[in-house]
Structure 1
């Protein structure tokens, strides 16, 4: 089981499921009316987290010293993608409320922290000698 949790892709899906359930429960309790659906928000976050993990893993395999830079670069691209994701709402006549913006950015930063922890674990992992 621990080996499966070390796989970043499995970790992303498990983490996403837990966060989505918590977020959905909070929205249900407080009856939040959202401009962006939770489904579309989480599809964005899951796809971007998988892309970040894949790129960082690829760079780490090629050059371990540059994995941190790959994470910073993909984080910048993710930030630009988030702006593009939110742009239609800001350009429409029916602008999203502050609650709707928080509905997107709280999971954004939670996923960012999760990705950073995953990258730190990857960079700091100790090489085990082959038996």
Structure 2
């Protein structure tokens, strides 16, 4: 539980800073573009999935310590599929250009993935 609180202490400020930065950039430089998803919904999705993923990794590390790396890879696959399901309404919409929306989703996706990978490697290396 201690590790989860340490993770929360870092992921929450990280998410807030990224959210403010992306919100500012969209409101300042992309006023003319109508986005399908709000910045808020994108960050809630990323934060929830990342917290679920790390919680699952902590559980696996506690019960089956030698399988933590496999659990990370498996949950990463589930996270990718959840992202596609999240984006299906956008992909099926009638928007002319979906590139700004996809970029607004996947740039934070990869930042959260990097953050999660960093903590997963630390968790695995403690063994």
TM-score range, shorter chain: 0.7 to 0.9
Counterpart-to-counterpart distance in 2, 1:21 and 1:122? 29
What is the alpha-carbon distance in structure 1 between the residues aligned to residue 118 and residue 3 of structure 2? Answer: 17
2:13 maps to 14
Counterpart of 1:26 in structure 2 is: 25
Aligned match of 1:87: 88
User: Could you state the TM-score of these two structures normalised by the residue count of structure 2?
Assistant: 0.88
Deviation at 1:9, TM superposition (A): 2.5
Counterpart for residue 35 of structure 1: 36
Task: Find out whether 1:119 has 2:120 as its counterpart.
Answer: yes
Give a deviation string over 1:99-128, Cα, whole Å, max 9, x none. Answer: 1110000000110010000101111137xx
| TM-score (normalised: structure 1) | 0.85
- Per the TM alignment, residue 63 of structure 1 is displaced from its structure 2 partner at its CA by 1.7
Please list every run of 5 or more consecutive structure 1 residues that lacks an aligned counterpart in the other structure: 127-131
* Distance in structure 1 (CA, Å) of the matches to 2:30 and 2:7: 33
Q: Is the Cα–Cα contact under 8 Å of residues 60 and 67 in structure 2 kept in the other structure?
A: yes
Given that residues 36 and 101 in structure 2 are in contact (C-alpha distance below 8 angstroms), is that contact kept between their aligned partners in structure 1? yes
Q: Kindly state the Cα deviation for residue 4 of structure 1 after the two structures are TM-superposed.
A: 8.4
Structure 2 stretches of 5 or more lacking a match? none
Does the C-alpha gap of structure 1 residues 28 and 87 become closer, same or farther in structure 2, counting only changes over 3 Å?
Answer: same
Task: Indicate conservation of the 8 Å contact 2:91/2:98, yes or no.
Answer: no
Q: CA deviation at 1:7?
A: 1.4
- C-alpha distance in structure 2 between counterparts of 1:121 and 1:10, whole Å: 16
C-alpha displacement of 1:91: 1.3
